[in-house]
Amino acid sequence: MKRILIAGIGNIFHGDDAFGCEVVRELNRRPLPEEVTVTDFGIRSYDLVYALTDNFDAVILVDATPRGTAPGTLYLIDPELDGFKELESTSLDAHTMNPVSVLETARLVGNLCPKLFLVGCEPEAGTAETERMGLSPKVQAAVPEAATMVVALVENLLSTNQHEPKVAGPVPA
């Protein structure tokens, strides 16, 4: 049986940075197969490091992902295809979450799961750094569609013997 982790990432006190947390909340309202674990990691980078090495067959990270497009644009990124090269890596910090640092640390700690995906959403400029709660309207509107995107990815992963779902580019919200 395949095991899939859906990991929400973000800081609820920094506006659009809470995107991953909000998508996890939406996913928790939906029925999901027993093979799927949904967790809001928030900014708990060390917890995510160990989860990434916990024999999951696939991990879907959900996070605000600034790539320079319109706010609310959704992305499905296969790090092996697109990589996280455009994201800046920093050292691991217990008070923030940097996906690149988490992945680098997980590789050092143990066996990293064989397949990683990132479902990302373009934040509104400056809203991922602000000290306020709540998503901007365009990012909030993208949450249900992102949850649907994650569910479709899970269904694809569980319905095939391989871990190769079709990877799409940006999806306007």
DSSP string computed for the chain = ---EEEEEE--TTSGGGGHHHHHHHHHTTS---TTEEEEEEET-HHHHHHHHTS--SEEEEEEE---SS-TT-EEEE-TTTT-STTSPP----TTS--HHHHHHHHHHHS---S-EEEEEEPPPTTTTTSS--S--HHHHHHHHHHHHHHHHHHHHHHHSSSS-PPP---B--
Q: Which of 71-80, 122-131, 146-155 has the lowest mean pLDDT?
A: 122-131
Domains of the chain: total: 1
Residue at 64 is within a domain: yes
Residue 99 included in any domain: yes
pLDDT tens for residues 70-106? Answer: 999 999 988 653 444 444 444 444 445 566 666 666 6
- Domain span at residue 136 reads 4-159
With bands split at pLDDT 50, 70 and 90, how would you rate the model's confidence at 141?
very high
Poorest-confidence range of 11-20, 145-154, 159-168?
A: 159-168
**Tell me, what CATH number does 56's domain have?**
3.40.50.1450
Classify residue 165: in a domain, yes or no. Answer: no
